[in-house]
Amino acid sequence: MRTYFLYILKCADGTYYTGITNNLERRLYEHESGINEKSYTYSRRPVEIQFYEVFQDVKQCIEFEKKIKKWSGKKKEALIEKNWDRLKELSKCRNDSNSENFRNG
C-alpha cells in the first residue's frame, strides 16, 4: 500500500507552503535545492518543514491539502502547534449572517 504525505513548509519570508507527495524526503530536497524556478518556494528559500500527516488514501490527502491551502497563516500555525482549541476558535464563522451573530430587529 502506498503512503502519501500532506506537508506544510515555512518559507524564509514567513509564508507557508502546503503540498502533497509520496516521498517526503525527496520533495523537501526539491524545494530546498530550487530545481523549479517557477515554484512558489523558489524565491522563498530556505524552507523548513513544520508539519506533515501520513495518508493511505491519496484522495483524502488531496482533499485535506485543498482545505489547508485556503486557511490563514494563523490557522495553519494552530495546526502545526496542535493547538486544537485555537484551531477551533479560528474556524468559527465570523460574518454577520452567521446564526450566532444574527440579531433580530
Confidence band, pLDDT 50/70/90 cuts, at residue 92: confident
Q: Are residues 40 and 60 in the same domain?
A: yes
Domain around 49: 4-70
Please tell me whether residues 32 and 54 are part of one structural domain.
Answer: yes
Q: Identify any residues that bridge with 35 across adjacent strands, giving them in sequence order.
A: none
- The torsion angles phi and psi of 21, rounded to 5 degrees, stand at -160, 165
Does 82 or 105 have the greater pLDDT score? 82
The arrangement of strands across the sheet holding 48-55 comes to 16-21, 4-10, 48-55
Residue ranges of alpha helices (H) inside 9-82 are 24-33, 58-69, 73-80
Is there a single domain that holds both residue 56 and residue 84? no
Q: What is the pLDDT of residues 20-73, one digit of tens each?
A: 999 999 999 999 999 999 999 999 999 999 999 999 999 999 999 999 999 999
For residues 55-68, one letter each, b for 16 or more C-beta atoms within 10 angstroms of the residue's C-beta and e for the rest, the string is beeeeebeebbeeb
- The whole model's pTM is what? 0.86
